[in-house]
Structure 1
Amino acid sequence: MSATKPHRLVPADSRIEKLERHVQALMQELHQARYEQRRDALTDALTGLGNRQALVNSFIEAQDAAAKGAVPPALLLVNLDGFKALKNSAGHAASDQILVTVAMRIRSAVRENDVVTRLGGDEFAVLLPATPQNRATAVGNRILAALEPNIDLGNNSIRCGASVGLRTAEPHHSIEDILQEADLAMEDSKNEGRNKLKVFDPATLHAQLLQRQIVGELREAIRADQLVLYYQPIVELSTGRIEGCEALVRWNHPVHGLIMPDQFIPIAEATGLIAELGRWVLRTAVRQLRRWRDHPVTAQQDFSMRINASAADLQSLEFVDAVSAALAEEHLAPDSLVLELTESAIIQNNELDRYTLASLHRLGVGLEIDDFGAGYSSMGYLRKLPVDRVKVDRQFVKDLGKDPSQLGFLAAIQHVIHSCGLEGVWEGIETAEQAEALRSIGCASGQGYYFGRPLPEAEFTEQLSRLRTWPG
């Protein structure tokens, strides 16, 4: 029988120390995990910058310090110029590389205690604790300078400028308030040519709020039939016969009365409401033409309807379908509608514009360049675009009878239009002498107060019923 090996006892103190070390290690791991979790929750995954929550936390701390007597914080909002188009052309991988490079450059341009964050997409924010406006402006300009050099993408390099808005915090500001006002300043920068720093101006906020109010009221006006169309005749100069009428929108505001289009069309264009407004004009004008065609008194006058189409319409894939549907609903032939397009709307000559114009041309509607000569006046594009008519701007007619050489100049313009295979419509005719002078050089059509001012539907219908030649 062999001897049993004695069991070696471990002192209780040693076991406790080992357990304590184990527990301490677990606590350190847990602490590290929580730290990393908090860090990840405050970090933008792509750039390694802080995220929106990090900005919120830093802003609250800076505002608390300001409440205790420190200088208020400032916020720089940085938005890259033309990044969407760049992303579409360069691809996602390259655009991510651009964002990472931009993040590094912004961080290199700011001070050690400034908080650089990425809010999403191509928008960055820099919180500058306890910083007066002049110092914040200097930091913003350093950021713009840091973004100036090209970014190397391997196969090529690109320049990615930015627009910067600056707002210094007020005691009442929340993070949403200061972000909104910095954003207004940044939009001002973009509107003034980009790659600039703009400081928030309270008047900008007032204008923005006013614009939002007008947009809301205009949207309601479209739904509540507050908009009305006025009609102005386009006349054949040799006979006085009406060959078309232009539909011109007015806003019959319940408080401010009749508002002219130059007061609300630019806002509609700037805010994207122009498409909805344009569809209303299209449907209403085509419906009115159908009524005139069906009315026993006006049915014999076979003239076209002219409406204005915007640059946004040419950029819309649905616009051609909307035109086709409006005509089909009223059982009208496509050539009974003429779309007037400004030079600025068609001169861009991008792929979508060309597609829309070609599709409208194939549909059979008339296409007319409006206000010709007021903008680019390039004769070269007249031969390339699928348009039928040119409406010559009124500035050329107003000097008829004052300058002896003006009629010869207009004859040269008319010759160019005719040589391009187009018809010319001359705007701004106010006297019989102007109408006769234009007719004498071969101008076919005219529009202006001499033939008639824009009138609401009832008054224009009354004129149609009694006039065979214009003016009466």
Structure 2
Amino acid sequence: MTPDTHITALVEALSAAPSGDPALDTLRQILDAMPVMVGVFDRDRRHIFANRAYLEMLGTTLDRLVGTTIGDILGPDTFRSTLGAAKRALDGEAVVSEAWTIQPDERQRYFLRMHAPHRAPNGAIAGYFIVMQDMTERRQTEDDLFRLAYYDPVTGLANRLMLLKHLADYRAMGEPFTLIILDIDRFADVRTSLGQGFANELLDDLAHRMGAHGTAFDLIARVSDHAFALLIAGPCDRPAVEEAVEELAAIVRSARSNTGGTVFLSASIGVAVALPSHERPEDVLRDAEIATGRARELGGGRQSWFDPAMHGQVVEQVRLEHDLRGALASGTDLWVAYQPIVEMVTSGLAGFEALVRWDHPERGNIPPGVFIPIAESTGLVVTLGTWVLREACRQIAIWQEEREPGSAPLFISVNLSTRQLADPNFVDVVRQVLRETGVEPSWLKLELTESAVMDKAEQSIRLLQELRTLGVKLSIDDFGTGYSSLSYLHKLPIDSLKVDRSFVSAMHQSEENRAIVRIILDLARLLGFDVIAEGIETSADANLLRALACDYGQGYHFARPLPPAEAGKLVGGSLSWQS
């Protein structure tokens, strides 16, 4: 084919020595100064001109380039990959595209390319131009940003956003799927005790092991600090999913660091199947996480399949949390009941236990067994506990003025939560409340469960010692039901042990059960503690505990928890249980 005379003339002008034409010489200088690469091709896709940037990109000269195709320089794959754009340009269309290209030095570069037709004065297409810009650095930056946005830097797995993209794609295509959430139990304790580096090594090991055994999974993602999501496409095959879950649990149990360090791990695993009722991909993820939470509530190290009733329970908890926050903020609807604590020998009133109650304006009485766990899980129990402490101290200060002259001061028992024990400001809170209410420290007895104390024994001992320095009394609640260690018990700066109601109610069933209570009483006397028995419901319970020389008791036999006004009638008045 004979080249178009106009494009040939242009090429000769641009390629020759200075012509003396200022405009042409200026155009030549502009083209060679441009970082953008410009190439001119005839209808047979042969080079007929290129600027300096284009020549440097290919590592050649204009003399060697003219008459060659891009395939002659970069290979047949590149020639074929640009065939479509060149054909469209020769058909009169301007085409913009982006692609990676292997350079003569075998490096990959990313180019923004435009193929555009060159027309002769009569309108006929004589060839085409290609204008290219090197976008490698921009593309690498975009790739880096994409990895940061959609991939986990520790494990290299997809992250939560990438998982949601996959779920959205599956939903758009009408593809059924099953989602598994694997949450490592007590991982925060591992990280705290062994360090973030060790924790990251465990996570990386788990990611690789799940990937190696994860032929059944279409995507594995890390969706939180210590949780992974595993996506299975297709209709749910429950036996196959349960088998995969068992394999995952085994992988978690065998986790180790890159340096070979091991630690026992277990996982709470939840499973949710995508249903037509799920309006958004997030709904499936939410349900899988709810199922995981249920597995964790059941003790961890097990699996749970989502049931719609679980969602209702979560919604209910969220609503109750919201209402509880409002009750704490307004100071209404919450109140403190007081259950008498009786001196067993004299049957006289020794003090009260303060017990929080909640009268919801719409739902009525909310049992403590419902709202206390919500307060614990959300951290509200710290604020709630401080409110109860202040109310109880304010009330006992009033009752001290109303008791019989010459009688021993009453004491008030207030329960503490694990969260309060972990609060570094708790001792200051107690000191401030005592100062505000004018309560003598010896009137206040703080009750802690043995499980809460023994969970972090050394830390708890330090805290209890600080409280004892204030003059506050301390008691171990529900003694015998937790996992106390006798090696620590004698170190605890406590004043009382509280026998759990389960032991008291079982005393009449067998001699063995009575022996348990007797042993607790003997142990307390040996260590210098007094003993409070709770759950006394009959006169037989009370008489037996008196025979065993128990110091104090409380229970329905004496009185139920009472509103402040009714409890106040017992202070300095007749005691119904004495008659």
* Greater mean deviation of Cα atoms: 280-289 or 222-231: 222-231
Deviation of the 1:20 alpha carbon: 6.6
| Corresponding position of 1:65 | 173
| Corresponding position of 1:50 | 158
Correspondent of 1:79 among 180, 183, 199: 183
Counterpart amino acid of 1:100?
A: D
Query: Is 1:369 aligned to 2:509, yes or no?
Result: no
Distance in 2 (alpha carbons) for counterparts of 1:233 and 1:160: 45
| Corresponding position of 2:341 | 234
Deviation of the 1:248 alpha carbon: 1.7
Query: Is 1:174 aligned to 2:280, yes or no?
Result: yes
Distance in 1 (alpha carbons) for counterparts of 2:298 and 2:515: 40
| Corresponding position of 2:8 | none
Query: Is 1:292 aligned to 2:399, yes or no?
Result: yes
**Distance change in 2, residues 1:206/1:406 (3 Å):** closer
Correspondent of 1:443 among 535, 550, 556: 550
Distance in 2 (alpha carbons) for counterparts of 1:231 and 1:355: 30
SS in 2 for 1:151: coil
Conserved? CA contact 2:205–2:258, under 8 Å: no
Distance in 2 (alpha carbons) for counterparts of 1:425 and 1:113: 56
Deviation of the 1:468 alpha carbon: 7.5
Per-residue CA deviation, residues 320-346 of structure 1 (Å, 9 max, x unaligned), is 221111111112221110012223222
Correspondent of 1:124 among 207, 212, 228: 228
SS in 1 for 2:191: helix
Pairwise CA RMSD of aligned residues? 3.4
Correspondent of 1:391 among 498, 509, 515: 498
Correspondent of 1:266 among 342, 361, 373: 373
Distance in 2 (alpha carbons) for counterparts of 1:469 and 1:326: 32
Conserved? CA contact 1:151–1:157, under 8 Å: yes
Deviation of the 1:283 alpha carbon: 0.8
SS in 2 for 1:89: helix
Conserved? CA contact 1:55–1:117, under 8 Å: yes
Deviation of the 1:196 alpha carbon: 3.4
Counterpart amino acid of 1:168?
A: V
Query: Is 1:194 aligned to 2:227, yes or no?
Result: no
* Greater mean deviation of Cα atoms: 84-93 or 336-345: 84-93
**Distance change in 2, residues 1:281/1:169 (3 Å):** same
**Distance change in 2, residues 1:322/1:447 (3 Å):** same
Deviation of the 1:367 alpha carbon: 0.8
Per-residue CA deviation, residues 195-239 of structure 1 (Å, 9 max, x unaligned), is 433322212111111222222222223333211212122222333
Spell out the pairing of 1:67-466 with structure 2 (5 A cutoff).
71-111=175-215, 114-134=218-238, 135-154=240-259, 156-171=261-276, 172-224=278-330, 225-295=332-402, 302-376=409-483, 381-398=488-505, 410-432=517-539, 434-466=541-573
Deviation of the 1:362 alpha carbon: 2.0
Larger radius of gyration: 2
Correspondent of 1:27 among 96, 109, 112: 112
Distance in 2 (alpha carbons) for counterparts of 1:131 and 1:302: 70
Distance in 2 (alpha carbons) for counterparts of 1:159 and 1:211: 32
Conserved? CA contact 1:298–1:464, under 8 Å: no
SS in 1 for 2:566: helix
Conserved? CA contact 2:390–2:437, under 8 Å: no
* Greater mean deviation of Cα atoms: 114-123 or 427-436: 427-436
Identity of aligned residues (%): 33
Unmatched segments (≥5 aa) in structure 2? 1-13, 18-38, 42-46, 59-100, 102-108, 114-133
* Greater mean deviation of Cα atoms: 15-24 or 336-345: 15-24
Counterpart amino acid of 1:177?
A: D
| Corresponding position of 1:16 | 49
Per-residue CA deviation, residues 113-141 of structure 1 (Å, 9 max, x unaligned), is 71222234233223333352434444444
SS in 1 for 2:291: helix
Distance in 2 (alpha carbons) for counterparts of 1:155 and 1:127: 29
SS in 2 for 1:154: coil
Structure with the larger RCO, 1 or 2 (CA within 8 Å, 6+ apart): 1
* Greater mean deviation of Cα atoms: 393-402 or 101-110: 393-402
Distance in 1 (alpha carbons) for counterparts of 2:243 and 2:141: 34
**Distance change in 2, residues 1:177/1:281 (3 Å):** same
Unmatched segments (≥5 aa) in structure 1? 1-6
Deviation of the 1:467 alpha carbon: 3.0
Distance in 2 (alpha carbons) for counterparts of 1:408 and 1:85: 38
Conserved? CA contact 1:109–1:139, under 8 Å: no
Counterpart amino acid of 2:170?
A: A
* Greater mean deviation of Cα atoms: 440-449 or 279-288: 440-449
Conserved? CA contact 2:181–2:288, under 8 Å: yes
Conserved? CA contact 1:137–1:166, under 8 Å: no
SS in 1 for 2:259: coil
Distance in 1 (alpha carbons) for counterparts of 2:172 and 2:508: 73
**Distance change in 2, residues 1:108/1:320 (3 Å):** same
**Distance change in 2, residues 1:402/1:45 (3 Å):** closer
* Greater mean deviation of Cα atoms: 459-468 or 322-331: 459-468
Normalising by structure 2, report the TM-score: 0.70
Deviation of the 1:311 alpha carbon: 2.3
Deviation of the 1:181 alpha carbon: 1.0
**Distance change in 2, residues 1:32/1:107 (3 Å):** farther
SS in 1 for 2:279: coil
**Distance change in 2, residues 1:32/1:60 (3 Å):** farther
